[in-house]
Amino acid sequence: MATPDHLHVDASKAVLESGKHLFLEKAIATSMTDAAEIVEAGAKHPHLKAMVGYPLRFSPVYRAMKQAVSRDNAGKPIQAWSMRTHFLDPNQRVYDKYRDHYYDTPSWYFDDETAKGPIFSHGSHDYDLLMWMCGEIESVFAYGGTYLLPPGSVADAFTVSLRFANGGIGQVSTHG
């Protein structure tokens, strides 16, 4: 299901209650409360599969990287970094390389009440990718702000620092 992040709860519950499997576009929700509600709805239907889709895991480039870091002789990942520059301007047309076309940035993406912007929505691809490559995340520290967008908009520049359970570190950031 590909709906705006802030609309996932009711739609996800409806899909599961109809007896259908749920493949949910990232991020699962825009709050921990909403995410927990979706997980709880999935637990009520253990015969159904419910998952959040992160397409970077299916990219041949990232799959090859995962194979390389997973080899027995690869050692443990000690540092990882990812930079994202997608959806930073509400007036920007965005090129989708998978569908080979341009589209307008959705208006809800920059509204702090209905979405959380790149730190949350698109950054979640990077958190998932680094966790897949490096292991479970033990702690998170983030800072950022709204620099280019109007006041009341989502943060348009940020850095998120991650510490993995294996002792490695990671960073996800974006800027305008």
**Is residue 65 included in any domain, yes or no?**
no
- The reply to whether 38 and 87 lie within a common domain is no
127 in the same domain as 90 = yes
Q: Is there a single domain that holds both residue 101 and residue 148?
A: yes
CA neighbours closer than 13 Å in the CB half-sphere of residue 118? 26
Q: What is the pLDDT of residues 95-138, one digit of tens each?
A: 888 789 888 877 777 777 777 777 777 788 899 999 999 999 99
Residue 60 belongs to some domain of the structure: no
Domain shared by 100 and 165, yes or no? yes
- Its domain, for residue 40, covers 5-53
- Identify the segments of the chain with pLDDT beneath 70: 1, 86-88, 175-176
Pairwise CA distance, residues 48 & 112, whole Å: 33
- Number of independent structural domains in the chain: 2
pTM: 0.82
88 in any annotated domain: yes
